[in-house]
Structure 1
Amino acid sequence: MTDDDVLAEFRAADALLEGHFVLSSGLRSSRYLQCARVLMDPARGARLAQALVAQLPAEVKSVVSAVVSPAMGGVIAGHEMARALGVEAMFLERPDGVFGLRRGFRLEPGQRVLMMEDVVTTGLSSREAIAAIAVAGGVTVAAAALVDRSNGTADLGVPFFPLVRLDVPTYAPEALPPELAAIPAIKPGSRA
């Protein structure tokens, strides 16, 4: 799947939005990828996950025995990646502000994990998820995401494999370009 093919999947699902968006990081952007919309169609989600698995190096695929994702955004993406890899899927939650495994999910000591996100912007949530995997006894061998919109700046501390890179400028709220400042901001993500 080429980058254009991936973006066509987002456009077909009305998941590539234009406007003024407040990202989970607090930064602002003129474009937003609503992965929940692109993953509404299970067949589309499966296609995207299979395309991403095809890009993973054999040395990653051969050792991963679970996919762990941060809730909420990464849950479906992680489940589809686990299905494509033929391994278990789990997700992290943060009811008290810190990611952790709940619902009876557990990792064996040293279990090798792929951490899966929907979108990476700054990498903060991904790094927090990787830290939670370590606390739970797992070893994150790599991270993956449907979309890297960090403009190449996200350092997750492990090899990172996005399906597509979307280079869209982000701005601090106090440093908006006039055309973006003129549009009311909306917060479309899962975090308030």
Structure 2
Amino acid sequence: MTDEEVLAEFRASGALLEGHFLLSSGRHSAHYLQCARVLMNPDRAGRLAVALAAEMSRDLRQAIDKVVSPAMGGIIFGHEMGRALGKDAIFVERPTGTFELRRGFTIAQGEKVLLVEDVVTTGLSSREAMAAVTEAGGEVIAAAALVDRSGGAVDLGVPFHPLVSLSFPTYAADELPSGLAAIPVEKPGSRAKA
């Protein structure tokens, strides 16, 4: 699946938004990819996961024991990646602000994990989820995402496999362009509004 085909899926589902957005990373952007909208159609979500799994090497696909995603955004795509890879898919969540396993989910000592996100911008959530996997005894051997918003700049410390890599500019609050600053800010992500 080409980058343009992936973006066509976002456009078709109304998932590519324009305005002034506060991202979960704390940075601001004029563009937002609402992955929940592109993933709300199970057939589309499955196609995207199959396309990403097909881009991974056979050796990597075979080495993965389990797929782990951070809640909330990564759950659907992580589940579909688990289906595409034929692996169990679980998630970590933040009931008290730090990612942890709950709901009876476990990771066996030394289990090889693929961490799956919907969107990666700075990699902060990914690294926090990876720390939870390591603390539980697993080994994250690679990460994957539907979208790499960093345009290839993010370093997660493991091989990273995004389906599409984009480079929409993001800004710190004190460096907003005047045109963007004039637009009311929205926080469309899954984390609580600040």
Confirm or deny a common fold (TM above 0.5).
Answer: yes
Match of 1:108 in 2: 108
Q: TM-score, normalised by structure 1?
A: 0.99
CA distance in 2, matches of 1:47, 1:152: 23
Match of 1:124 in 2: 124
Match of 2:36 in 1: 36
CA distance in 2, matches of 1:50, 1:100: 27
Offset of 1:153 from its aligned partner?
2.1
CA distance in 1, matches of 2:165, 2:177: 23
CA distance in 1, matches of 2:160, 2:92: 19
CA distance in 2, matches of 1:129, 1:159: 15
SS at match of 2:80: helix
Match of 1:98 in 2: 98
Offset of 1:12 from its aligned partner?
0.4
Q: TM-score, normalised by structure 2?
A: 0.98
SS at match of 1:184: coil
SS at match of 2:119: strand
CA distance in 2, matches of 1:131, 1:84: 25
Match of 1:179 in 2: 179
Q: Note the 1:16-95 alignment, pairs <5 A.
A: 16-95=16-95
Equivalent pairs, count: 192
SS at match of 1:113: strand
2:128 partner letter: E
Match of 2:4 in 1: 4
Percent identity over paired residues: 66
CA distance in 1, matches of 2:59, 2:161: 13
SS at match of 2:7: helix
CA distance in 2, matches of 1:77, 1:147: 11
CA distance in 2, matches of 1:152, 1:117: 15
Q: Note the 1:141-160 alignment, pairs <5 A.
A: 141-160=141-160
Offset of 1:65 from its aligned partner?
1.4
Q: Which runs of 5+ in 1 are unaligned?
A: none
**What are the superposed Cα offsets for residues 101-126 of structure 1, whole Å, 9 maximum, x if unpaired?**
10000011100010000000000000
1:180 partner letter: L
CA distance in 1, matches of 2:27, 2:77: 23
CA distance in 2, matches of 1:60, 1:141: 8
Moved over 3 A (4+): none
